[in-house]
Structure 1
Amino acid sequence: MSNPNEYGSIEQSIFIAASPEVVYDVVSRPEHLNRWWTDEAVYQPVPGGSGYLAWGDRATTRPTEVTLTVVEAVPGERFSFRWIYPRGETPTPENSMLVTFSLVPDSGGTRLTVTEEGMREQGWEAAKLEAYYLEHVDGWMRHLADLARYAPAVVERVDG
């Protein structure tokens, strides 16, 4: 088994053929998340906004709900939130993961980097930590690809 210290954070980047402003809306507004990532998203996309995300068949092998609290919302630049599973508790730095979407203009589009951190701080046994990490690495890869397909369609609807 690998060293569990290797599983402390996930970082993945992808190019999206849409402006940082459009990508920001797509990663921060619940009505967009429901199109590329979640089955249900209910929250206010402002610092301190809280609510939940829910997945059924789209993302997981089992229904999943998480509580989230928005940490940072800087239009066109960064959107972050803390989430905790299962749904119910209030996410804090001690009991939750921090997910951050960072956006940088790149070649007429956006370089989006997502990070998820806080896994080691949960005090999980090595096998649980590794399983969570691997499941989320796979999930982010799949959903970021869906996001890269969805965001340009938002641009077309706005421009068209």
Structure 2
Amino acid sequence: MEMEYGSIEQELHIDAAPDVVYEVISSPEHLREWWPDDADLVPVPGATGAITFGDPTSPDATIVPLTVLEADPPRRFVFRWVYDESPATETNSLLVTFDLVPSGDGTLLRFRETGFRERGWEAAVLEEAYHEHVHGWDLFLPRLVTYAAKLGARP
């Protein structure tokens, strides 16, 4: 029997226009408000950067390289990120896709992270990494919704 652990997918409604949500998911100053402690990236295809979890000046901080694959405002933002190697490539990283669809006065955000099985991890490592990412996105995506809605409500 084959294990799933292939992708994490969520759909969220956000009370903000797609252009606002796009900025929240693609620009460092907004990313820092809901996800990493620091972000250094330019949201253009081919750009490389990093996000940091923890105090960026501490040796204990986790710096995660990423590569932007698609930047199509206000519809789609896609990047690869990798914890243990640099740079993030097709063979060593996970793929994160944010698709934004206008929905009434807001946005339907379709989130997907894939590439877990493709990493070639042994079963226990695969399962642990997958569950860590599920837990992380379950924490951070609601923060994205709240933050973007707050920005979208500004006059």
Partner of 1:144: 141
State the Cα RMSD in Å.
1.5
How many corresponding residue pairs? 151
Give the AA of the match of 2:148.
Answer: A
Partner of 1:20: 18
Structure 1 position 94, deviation (Å): 0.7
TM-score (norm 2): 0.92
Partner of 1:56: 54
Looking at structure 1, the residues matched to 16 and 96 of structure 2 have their Cα atoms a distance apart, in angstroms, of 21
Secondary structure, aligned partner of 1:67: strand
Partner of 1:82: 80
Looking at structure 1, the residues matched to 105 and 12 of structure 2 have their Cα atoms a distance apart, in angstroms, of 14
1:100 and 2:97 correspond:
yes
TM-score (norm 1): 0.89
Identity %: 52
Give the direction of change, closer, same or farther, for the CA distance of 1:4–1:128 in structure 2 (3 Å limit). farther
Looking at structure 1, the residues matched to 136 and 14 of structure 2 have their Cα atoms a distance apart, in angstroms, of 18
Structure holding more helix per residue: 1
Structure 1 position 142, deviation (Å): 1.3
Partner of 1:47: 45
Cα contact 1:11–1:116 (8 A) shared by 2: yes
Structure 1 position 8, deviation (Å): 1.2
Structure 2: segments with no counterpart, 5+ residues:
none
Structure 1 position 95, deviation (Å): 0.8
Give the AA of the match of 1:44.
Answer: V
